[in-house]
Chains A and B, each alone.
Chain A
């Protein structure tokens, strides 16, 4: 394992003649500032990607006026939001109302701390990294609840409840999917999990030992859970425009709204990055041992590819109802993941070669993929039939039958 970025950096600062304590604090502060800076500014490109992807799906061009390819559109929007009036509705709970957008950004930025970008480039390589992710992810729940409660608005409160119900429900399959990874790798550190996914043949690291190849079932369940956690379609019933107007942030304006908006987009990228880290090898790839900077490239390609996939799904799928959301989490994903964990736990202790163990794990994962796809296609087929029927022109006479 490569040394942590801070060691070289602190060494450099000490060589400038700084005392060790000051050098450490300074190095961490600069590293932390860089992380916050990248986290917040990546929203500019992420929102642009979303707009472009969804525009193309809806036969539009999307932003194309401000800057080349409309790249600066988000910056212009940010400037606009900055100059907007900061409205606090009457009778709002001031503390909860004002704290909520701050917490939304706080919870999002804190997740960046444990994402391994390249060998040795990870904010803090915690030995409990994966639990840290899930634990800090729950700040979003608190933030939504505070916004919903604090706004003194029925729609906001209703949306807040829906957010909490959804985030809690999908946190369980997500945690269980992570548990399968931990069971296989024997570590909870994000950097070590990436390190596990190397594939060395004849002394050369191909970097293709991705866990997603071995555990497609866990990957699929985790990916679906990340869609729900980042509140994207088909799980966007929390902000359903036609029912709840906008969601729990309906009463927010100006920069406070911008904070929610930003946090939401970046958090879906963070979950995409976590999918890439846990299941798609993170920064692993060919020649990464020789040229560590390639790791950064591989990682960002993977994370952004999954982000685009998320947006693709967002532009294609219909929204599900709250009962379907609950059904899918508790009656499909949770039992499947519990079953997968039990099978994997037994298989890993079978007295057979590792190759056979892996084959058995793979087969059981394929089963999970099959069941999930089956449930989803069944649902979407019904949805298509229903939609077509409601658009079918009916003859006037046919509908005017006397009551039976």
Chain B
């Protein structure tokens, strides 16, 4: 007798979170109201944070919520409100190129699927270290192995601060 494919709780939760993320993502591109697009984007980012948690990437998940939901989403909403012509909502979600874009999206999906199929996934993962250890290791990595990248990031943030003034002055 073949084994019935009864999904585990983890799989069900994953399916629910993934579905939530995908549907919100669809609303982002399909809704004609710009503000609703931004709200759906927030929901999508929340869903992605949920996926990170399912991958036991706890710190990444809260960072995702803090930076993307708390800051970037607000900034995007501000940007929408700044552009006067866009404030009256209704923009068309399609333009002349949408047919070509759809074909490329499907092709891109096929390529991704091919890659994912090709990877030999490890099915029996060893027990992960506790998240406290993970965070400590992460903090150490920033200032040892990836110290150059870390300082370049600091430089990038400095450039962002300088650029912010330039941008706002133009307005």
User: Cβ of B59: which chain A residues have Cβ within 8 Å of it?
Assistant: 128, 131
> Per-residue CB proximity of A107-131 to B under 8 Å, as 1/0?
0000000000000000000111001
Most-contacted residue by chain A among B59, B73, B77, B78 (CB, 10 A): B77
Most-contacted residue by chain A among B66, B77, B131 (CB, 10 A): B66
**A132–B69 CB distance below 8 A:** no
Tell whether A131 pairs with B39 under 8 Å between CB atoms, given A141-B74, A149-B81.
no
Interface of B is mostly: helix
B148 at the interface (CB under 8 A from A): no
User: Nearest-CB distance from A400 to chain B (Å)?
Assistant: 45
User: Cβ of A151: which chain B residues have Cβ within 8 Å of it?
Assistant: none
**A127–B81 CB distance below 8 A:** no
User: Cβ of B78: which chain A residues have Cβ within 8 Å of it?
Assistant: 164
Number of interface residues of B (CB under 8 A): 25
User: Cβ of B131: which chain A residues have Cβ within 8 Å of it?
Assistant: 127-128
User: Cβ of B81: which chain A residues have Cβ within 8 Å of it?
Assistant: 149
Nearest to A149 among chain B residues (CB) is: B35
Tell whether A145 pairs with B77 under 8 Å between CB atoms, given A131-B62, A134-B66, A136-B65.
yes
How many angstroms from the CA of A387 to the CA of B19 in the assembled complex? 59
Number of interface residues of A (CB under 8 A): 27
Interface hits, A148-190 → B, CB 8 Å:
149, 164, 168, 171, 187-189
**B132–A187 CB distance below 8 A:** yes
Tell whether A95 pairs with B39 under 8 Å between CB atoms, given A141-B70, A141-B74.
yes
**B69–A188 CB distance below 8 A:** no
User: Nearest-CB distance from B51 to chain A (Å)?
Assistant: 16
Tell whether A126 pairs with B58 under 8 Å between CB atoms, given A135-B65, A188-B135.
yes
Tell whether A135 pairs with B69 under 8 Å between CB atoms, given A145-B74, A168-B74.
yes
A71 at the interface (CB under 8 A from B): no
**B69–A138 CB distance below 8 A:** yes
**A95–B66 CB distance below 8 A:** no
A296 at the interface (CB under 8 A from B): no
A146 at the interface (CB under 8 A from B): yes
**A95–B36 CB distance below 8 A:** yes
Select B39's contact among A96, A128, A138, A188, beta carbons within 8 Å.
Answer: A96
B9 at the interface (CB under 8 A from A): yes
B63 at the interface (CB under 8 A from A): yes
User: Cβ of B62: which chain A residues have Cβ within 8 Å of it?
Assistant: 128, 131-132, 135
**A96–B35 CB distance below 8 A:** yes
User: Cβ of B160: which chain A residues have Cβ within 8 Å of it?
Assistant: none
User: Cβ of B77: which chain A residues have Cβ within 8 Å of it?
Assistant: 145, 149
A289 at the interface (CB under 8 A from B): no
How many angstroms from the CA of A132 to the CA of B132 in the assembled complex? 14
**A139–B69 CB distance below 8 A:** yes
User: Cβ of A132: which chain B residues have Cβ within 8 Å of it?
Assistant: 62
B42 at the interface (CB under 8 A from A): yes
**A131–B132 CB distance below 8 A:** no
How many angstroms from the CA of A168 to the CA of B73 in the assembled complex? 12
Most-contacted residue by chain B among A93, A138, A188, A189 (CB, 10 A): A138
Nearest to B49 among chain A residues (CB) is: A135
How many angstroms from the CA of A139 to the CA of B43 in the assembled complex? 11
- 14 A–B contact pairs at CB < 8 A? A93-B33, A93-B36, A95-B36, A96-B39, A127-B130, A128-B58, A132-B62, A134-B70, A135-B62, A138-B71, A145-B74, A149-B77, A164-B74, A164-B78
Beyond A93-B33, A127-B130, A128-B135: 19 further Cβ-contacts under 8 Å? A93-B36, A95-B39, A96-B35, A99-B39, A127-B58, A127-B131, A128-B59, A128-B131, A131-B59, A131-B63, A138-B65, A138-B66, A138-B71, A142-B69, A142-B73, A142-B74, A145-B77, A149-B35, A168-B71
List the interface of chain B (C-beta within 8 A of A): 9, 33, 35-36, 39, 42, 58-59, 62-63, 65-66, 69-71, 73-74, 77-78, 81, 89, 130-132, 135
Lowest 3 CB-CB distances: which A-B pairs, in order? A138-B70, A135-B66, A135-B65
